[in-house]
Chains A and B, each alone.
Chain A
């Protein structure tokens, strides 16, 4: 008798499933189809640190 599991599909851990950028939990909850208007609106906001702030941070790191 063959040991179990040799011919069947092996189980995969969640981390082993390649889904690219998709978040499977989010996908399962269907946020994008249901709230695409809200999500599209949120995408209009871009937040980034100013160049001056980034430069100051790098200077502080170099001083250490």
Chain B
């Protein structure tokens, strides 16, 4: 299997399909970060596309230098786009709190389950998303970047521009808060 950097090199040489491979390889991590961090589905989809378009622009203009952490660099771009968005919203003073449901259930396994299981899973997934969405921004970001985007704490610290200890501390508070909310809502695992 080609590394991320090998794919980028081939893409720069004109092999369009190599970038498509990169998208398929990393799309879930990037989309999970954006869509769990901001609640507006349409906006999440726009930012998801903008992230990869910006990545292409930067790669083509020679701004990417390989250090073996392509995904970390992509996530930083996504992070910056989210920050830019919130800055614009703040300026316009039009905060959107639209609720939405993402494409959580598009796995083959999910389709094979019966309706009742489907409903239970759907509800639990919704509950978990709600828990995550109720965390303070800084804690939510660390949880998403670690557990849904698979970044290391070193990478999370770099992207969010805090020390590793601060990122770890935020994670600890997030986990404590989530457990507290789970207990309050009596939320437990009821499916495998």
Contacts and interface: CB of A to CB of B under 8 A. Distances in A.
Contact of B172 (A31, A48, A50, A62): A31
Contact of A57 (B52, B107, B187): B52
A41 B20 contact: no
A24 to B, nearest CB: 9
Contact of B23 (A29, A42, A48, A58): A58
A44 B128 contact: yes
A2 interface: no
B175 A38 contact: yes
Interface residues of B, number: 47
Contacts, number: 109
A47 interface: yes
Most buried by B among A40, A44, A45, A50: A45
B16 interface: yes
B56 A64 contact: yes
Contacts of A60: 49, 53
Contact of A61 (B19, B121, B171, B179): B19
Interface string A21-64: 00101100101001101111111111111110110111011101
9 contacts: A25-B168, A41-B178, A42-B178, A44-B125, A44-B128, A44-B189, A54-B27, A56-B49, A61-B52
